Structure 1
Amino acid sequence: MKELQFDFVPAPDDPSLDADMAKAIAKQEELVRLDGGPAKTLQDIRAQQARLSEFWNKGAPDIETVEDVKIPTSDGALSGRLYHPPRERTPILIYLHGGGWNRGSIASADCTCRHLANESGFAVLSLDYRLAPENPFPTAILDVLAAMDWCRRSAHALNVDGELIFLGGGSAGANLSVVAALKCRDEGLPPPSGLVLFYGGYQNVNFNTSSHLAFGDGRYGNSTIRKLDYIVNYVPKGVQVSNPYISPLLAPNLSNLPPMWFGIAELDILRDDQLAFAERLSKEGGHAVIRRYYGLIHGFAARTRIVPRAVTAIGEAAAFVRELAGERHFNPATT
C-alpha cells in the first residue's frame, strides 16, 4: 500500500480552492509533521488518523447523550457510538466513516456525527464496521445490515423510531450506504428511509473520467493510485471489481431505491462518479438531490473546525433527512 498523505499542497492563493479549505489542508500537513511525519504502514496510518482527529473534533456541538455501544452480529460484537439529542423516539441515522474501506473510525467521524445530530435532531449511530484487508468484501456490508437490524430490534431501548432508519457516510462510507440499500432491495429486507452521501465512490473500473484526469495526481489529497491501493485491499481474489455490490454504478438497474442526497466536492477524483450515479438514479425513477461544493475537496465534512462551508453542507444533508422524516416528529427550530 502506498503512503496515505497529501501528494501536493496547493498554493494558498490557488483560485480553484476555497480559502478555508486551503487553511485546513495546510493545518493537516502541519499536524502530520508535528506527529513525526507521514505514517508508513497501514496500522500506523490508522493510528495517526485517530490521533489527529482529536484536533479536528474540537469545537463540534455538544450532544446531550453520547455513549459507546456494542452491536451484536453473528461474528461477534461491533463497536458503535450513539449520539442522542434530547428528544423522544427520534429517527436514527447510521453514519459510516470514510477511509477507502481500509482506515477510518468512530474518532475520525466524530465531528461530522455531532453536527448531523445537532442539525437534524436525529439520533446518529457511528459504526466501526470491520476494515480491509483483515476483513475484505463483503464483511463491511454485512456489518451495516447487522447494524440496521439491531436498530430496528432495539428501537425501544435506544429511544428511536425503528421505522425511520437512515444511512449516511463519506467516501467509502457513502459507497457502503448505497450498497446496503441495493442489498435491502435485492434481498427483500426493510430499506433505509433515505441516504445522505458525501463524496462517495460508486465505480472502480474506469479511471479515465475527467475528474480522475484532472485531480488523479493527488493535488487535492485523494489520488487515483491511492484509490487503486484501497481496492486491492478491499476486493478479494476471485471477485470482480465490477460486482454491483462493490461498484453500484454498474448495477443492472437502480430502480426502487430510497431517496438520496449527494454532497459532491468539486475538486475530487470521485466527482464524476457521483454525478453519473445521481443522474442514473434520477432517470430510473429515483429521487436524487445533488449539491456541488465548488472549491472543496474530498473529506471536507471532517474539517468543520476550519471550513464553515463544511458545516453548511452537513446542515443541508440534515435538512434533507428531516424533510423525509416529516415534521410530525419534531421541528428542531422550536423544540
Structure 2
Amino acid sequence: MLDELQPIAAATDLSVAPEYRRPIAIVGAGAIVDVAHLPAYRRAGLDVRGIFDLDHERAKTVAKTHGIPTVHGSLEELLASDVDVVDVAVPANVQPGIVHQAITAGKHLLCQKPFAEDLTTARHMVTAAENAGTKIAVNQQMRFEEGIAAAIAMAKAGWLGEVTTFSFDVNIVTDFSSWEWLAKREKLEVWYHSIHYLDSVRALLGNPVRAYAVGSRTPGQKVTGETRTMTTLSFANGTNAILHVNHENRTGDAHAAYRIDGSQGSVKGTIGLLYDYPHGRPDTLTVNSAEHTDGWLNYPVTRRWIPDAFAGPMGSLLRAIATDGEPETSGRDNLGTLALVEALYRSMDSGDAQRPEESAP
C-alpha cells in the first residue's frame, strides 16, 4: 500500500528544488502576506528580499517579523531592484495597474486572486505578459492544499474509476465585514470565496460547458453581497460538479467538506481551516477504492491550507521560469476560472444556465 501511496504523496509535494529558487519581492503587506505568503515561503526555503506597501509602517513591521532586508519606499523602487520575481498581493481592483508596470520592468509575477474584476482586464494582463516574455501565475492555492491535491491525484490516477461528481458542501460563518473593502461589494461570495472551489474543480475536470447558480442574502447580514450560493456545473463528458456554500450559519454547527465520486470509488475530505477560521483544525481525507483499498482508508494530511498551500503557486512559477514552462495556475489557465465566475453571475441575474466564455467553441 505504501508503494501505491507514494505517487499520491509526490503530487502534494510543495518543496522547491534549490536550483529553481530565486529572490522574490512582495507588493502588499496585508494580513494574508503576514500569515500565509511569508510563512509558507520560509518553510519552502524561498528568499524574500524586499517588500513595498502604501502603508510604509505596516511594511516595516511585516519585514521585521519575517526578516525581509529591504523595505522599498515606492513601487518604482521595488521594480528597479534586481529581483525578477514579484508577488503582487493586493485587491483585484488595483492589481492590473501594478501588473502592467511590473511586466514593463521585465518581472515574472505571482498575482493575487481574483486575478481581475472582469475577464477582459485579465486577458489584457495575460497578453501583455506573453508579449513581454514574462511568466504570470495566479495565487489559486487551494488546488495545492494537501487534502485537495491528494484527492485530485487519486482521481487522476484512476483510483475512483470514471469520475462522475465533484462536490463541495460548506456551511460556516464568515465575517466578510472584517475586510472593509469587501463589505460593500455587490458580488461577493463567488468572487472572493467559492472561486477557490471552482478553480479546484477545474484542476480536475477542466472547463464546464454549462454553469447554473443562485445566490442569496440573509436577513441581518453585515455585508452587501450574496453570502449563500448553490451552483451546478456540467461538463462535456457528462461529469457534474455541485457546490453549496453558506457563510451565515448561525447555529454553531460548522461544516466544510468535499467529495469526488467515481464508478469505482470515492474520496472525501474536510477543510479544517473553515471550522473555526482563522484557527481551524486538522484537515481529513479518506478514500474508498475498489482496486486500491479494503473499505475506507484514511490518508494522512499533515499540512494546512493556510499557510502551507501558499508555497504551491509560487513554487510552480519558479519551476516554470527555470524550465521555460507554464505555471500550473498560469494567468492563461486562470482565464477559465474567471470565465466561470462571470458565467455564474450571469446565471444568477438571468435565472438560466450559462456557457462560460472560455468553454465556447
TM-score with structure 1 length normalisation? 0.30
Larger radius of gyration: 2
TM-score with structure 2 length normalisation? 0.29
